[in-house]
Structure 1
Amino acid sequence: MSLPPIDPAKTAAGIALDPQTLERVIPESRRPDGTVRKQIKIRPGFTPQEDVRRFRGTKQAQQDANALPKGHIIGWAPPPTSQASGSATKPLSKSAKKNAKRREKKEDKKETVADNWEEDDEVSSTPAGTASPDSATEQKKAPRSSSGSAHTPENPNWAAAVSETSLTAKLEQLDVK
């Protein structure tokens, strides 16, 4: 036989089950002036007003049982715990396949842009003050536009129409200390 709890659970009115007699009682307590209140026995079947629950019909009780927790967002589901096993068993939908292809294309584009940056660094490796005429012609040969076509009188490309000779002249004028 287990020992009774030291501080038995109390109702809202302060009623607890007496561990020795198994009767419902309000246990003795101490007043602010130091005197002790006697333990009060509660008649069987009596429920004080504080312990009376609010009446809920069957439909209301069912709604309360099915209610979402406080702060829950409708339609939100927590992410699955095992993503690897779930994705292996399910085939991708059309939209998921499209999105995957788009991501791959985007990554490929990023890689090609990085390659172009590296090529630009190799071309302009000479210092600005010591630009030789050969390096200026190399810069003219390497197109700077992302479309790959340079601006020529026969094939005008107004996006790349910035005069490269004026750019080199401006670069030569800059004096980096």
Structure 2
Amino acid sequence: MSSNISSAGITTDATTGERYIPSSLRADGSKRREIRVRPGYKPPEDVELYKNRAAAAWKTRGKGGVPGAEPMSSEDDKSAQAASTASSNKNAKRREAKRKAKEAEGSEATSEKKGADSDNWRTPATQKNEQLGEDHVDLEAEKEKKARNLKKKLRQARDLRDKRNEGEVLLPEQLEKLIKIPELVRQLESLGFDSNGDKKEEASQEKA
């Protein structure tokens, strides 16, 4: 007599306690032979899965209510929903009031900035003239600085030209500096300086 068929299809003989897989028919009509299962062997299909009670309780949380508490009636549910709705409306009103306050602060800051810009637009003529004078001085200083750099390069290039005229052999990069002599002179003239790096006005006064 056989009983206790497991999930893996293993049958246990109730009389002898032997375990085996009974014979069966294949799709082509052939017969599979009976397979004996050694004592103590347990296939994966027959291994029971471990069930964690805490995990199962966590999955079903909120469905059964608070343990030991009485179930809420429909009237209690309605009152709780009304209270939550009132609190949410109150919070919404607070958020709206904060948003309006921020907008008001932003508009005041914008108006103050516009007022400051308008004050700057109404700068006195004397202050504007002083600013123009400072810009002119800065421009002149920048021109003189650039002229000094050009004058230095021009002096170096002319020294190399003199060395070449004396028979000295120059390097390729030194020859490139010689080629740039006319360009350096042209840049000095565009800044208002002569080929020696002096201002044209001062040079003309010295000649006179």
By the TM > 0.5 criterion, same fold?
no
> Normalization by structure 1: what TM-score?
0.28
> Normalization by structure 2: what TM-score?
0.25
Rg larger for:
2
